[in-house]
Amino acid sequence: MSLQLGDIVPDFTAQTTEGEIHFYDYIDGKWAVLFSHPKNFTPVCTTELGYTAYLKPQFDKRGVKVIGLSVDKLESHEPWSKDIEETQGTALNFPLIADTDKTIANLYDMIHPNASDSATVRSVFVIGPDKKLKLSMTYPASTGRNFDEIVRVIDSLQLTAKHQVATPVNWKNGEDVIIVPAVSDEQAKEKFPAGWKTLKPYLRVVAQPQ
């Protein structure tokens, strides 16, 4: 059965480019992004890992731990890491799991037999400090993921976890947000004393809380 939003994600122990990790210990009360790759030394994966390494300061700023997964052997990760740095301009700066027996891939439903019965699809899991799944996305092997979008979603998840707001279509950090319907106007006066704009009784727009 596949993981669903709100489920506690499975724990695991894995060998990585930064040594053995225990996933729950690695998260250690922080947000986390776990994402899989179909295969080492493939063009799309190379660009994705390079860009994720480039974005790592943005993940660090948000208190997010990043970890990648491949079903290839650990010894092939190092030469691939050199290719990533050479072609993408950024060295690998987060752990890359070697899941050769596909234990973790199966735990997280990363293998879709209709696409491939041996390689993982491009799965992304955003996990909260409570170890619950907050977001999952699955891309085909041929399509590179938009990691700027993953950062944007994390901004939304972290904001909405703290305040009783939702983020509208195409929202970016710093833009107006929506007061959730569960908050009455009377409650909203306390939460948002600077006021808001009512477009419809169910659609109240307010400046992003800081």
To 10 degrees, what angle do helices 43-61 and 147-162 make?
A: 30
CB–CB of 46/171 below 8 Å?
no
Which residue numbers are catalytic?
45
Query: Residue 76 has what pLDDT?
Result: 87
**Structure token digits, residue 19:** 């040594």
Report the distance separating Cα 127 and Cα 65, nearest Å.
Answer: 10
Q: Hey, where are the domains in the chain?
A: 13-145, 163-206
Name the helix (H) or strand (E) containing 96: strand 96-98
Listed as ranges, residues in the chain with pLDDT below 70 are: 1, 112-121
pLDDT digits (tens, 9 = 90+) for 136-168: 998 888 899 999 999 999 999 999 999 999 999
Q: Domain 163-206 sits in which CATH superfamily?
A: Antioxidant, Horf6; Chain A, domain2 (3.30.1020.10)
The fold adopted by the segment(s) 13-145 is Glutaredoxin (3.40.30)
Whole-model pTM?
0.91
